[in-house]
Chain A
Amino acid sequence: MIVGGFPFANRFDELRREMDRVLDNFGTGRTRWPHARATVFPAMNVWDAGDTVCVEAEIPGVSKDDLEIFAVGKELTVKGMRPPMEGKLTYHRQERGTGEFTRVLTLPVEINADKIDAVLDNGVLTVILPKAEAAKRKQITVKTN
């Protein structure tokens, strides 16, 4: 809501539009997992945890050895492979995809790529990316005279 005459109104509007544009650019480089229902794999949830950004993805059936995660600048890449079943099989229903996947996420803040932590637990991948110092919110103390 922009109130006429309020001095900061236009600047916030500009900032909000810029944020919307950046968040829309999330998730470039989508790859389809063959036969999977979703159009993007893996689906990701990303949240701001203060000094870190957390990225979570559901990748059931992918082992640690078949997974590659790296960050360059503001881009996080999650790459992996889920092997198909072997042997003589007849499929009566196939809803789960197999094969390779790659997803690149462009983060809206600078991160410290040296201190990224990644955990894979029961098919859930959690990547914790510390924000770069300059990107952290700095609390400013207001003094009164």
Chain B
Amino acid sequence: MANQTDIEKHETQELQRVERIRGGRTFVPSVDIVERDNELLLLADMPGVKPDDLDIRYEGGELAIHGKVQPRQESERTNFMLREYGVGDFYRVFQVGDSIDSSKIEAEVKDGVLTLHLPKTEQAVPRKIAVQTK
């Protein structure tokens, strides 16, 4: 049920927490949040991000995902004919409730998509209750 899983989005006010090594832009990645029996899955589109470029932190109920992206074109000198998107880091913060066992969070990146596994705590896993007949 939705209200038991307790994940909410924390908006971009958190951008000042991002370490800015270069003066690049930071973007908010599109995200899917999916619930399965034993875990919550968070999928984030982060094209250009490799496993080494990922920084995932969990602190005080907040989960922050940060994907560092190397610039691919030199903006000033590139002769653009069409420019529909910018290239920069990805950053987003989420509130994670007690129903998640934060010590067991796992992350993987493939084809520019981050998949975060957020296992539910024992109590949060739905249990089938056997119905007895008398």
Interface centre among A40, A43, A61 (most CB of B within 10 A): A61
| Segment of B17-25, B42-50, B96-104 in the binding face | B42-50
| Cβ-defined contact, A26 with B30, below 8 A | no
| Segment of A6-14, A86-94, A110-118 in the binding face | A86-94
Query: Among A47, A89, A94, which residue has its beta carbon within 8 angstroms of that of B81?
Result: A47
- Taking the closest CB of chain A, its distance from the CB of B109, in whole angstroms, is 8
Query: Among B31, B72, B113, which residue has its beta carbon within 8 angstroms of that of A124?
Result: B72
With an 8 Å Cβ cutoff, the count of chain B residues facing the other chain is: 34
| Cβ-defined contact, B111 with A96, below 8 A | no
Q: Which residue of A lies closest to B6 (CB)?
A: A92
| Cβ-defined contact, B85 with A60, below 8 A | no
| Cβ-defined contact, A56 with B111, below 8 A | no
B residues 40-63 in Cβ contact with A at 8 Å: 40, 43, 45-50
- Taking the closest CB of chain B, its distance from the CB of A59, in whole angstroms, is 7
B83 interface residue, CB < 8 Å from A?
A: yes
Contact with A along B1-28 (1 / 0, CB 8 A): 0100101010000000000000000000
| Cβ-defined contact, A45 with B45, below 8 A | no
B33 interface residue, CB < 8 Å from A?
A: yes
Q: Which residue of B lies closest to A54 (CB)?
A: B73
Contacts of A45 in B (CB 8 A): 73, 80, 82-85
Contacts of A88 in B (CB 8 A): 36-37
A77 interface residue, CB < 8 Å from B?
A: no
With an 8 Å Cβ cutoff, the count of chain A residues facing the other chain is: 39
B residues 116-130 in Cβ contact with A at 8 Å: none
| Cβ-defined contact, B35 with A94, below 8 A | no
Query: Among B33, B48, B79, B85, which residue has its beta carbon within 8 angstroms of that of A93?
Result: B33
Q: Which residue of A lies closest to B44 (CB)?
A: A96
Contacts of A34 in B (CB 8 A): none
A29 interface residue, CB < 8 Å from B?
A: no
| Cβ-defined contact, A58 with B85, below 8 A | yes
Contacts of B78 in A (CB 8 A): 47
- Write 11 A-B pairs (CB below 8 A) sorted by A numbering: A47-B80, A48-B80, A62-B111, A90-B35, A91-B33, A93-B32, A122-B109, A123-B47, A123-B49, A123-B111, A123-B112
Where the two chains meet, the residues of B that have a C-beta atom closer than 8 Å to any C-beta of A are: 2, 5, 7, 9, 30-37, 40, 43, 45-50, 72-73, 78-85, 109, 111-113
Where the two chains meet, the residues of A that have a C-beta atom closer than 8 Å to any C-beta of B are: 23, 26-27, 36-37, 40, 43-49, 53, 56, 58-63, 85, 87-96, 105, 108, 120-124
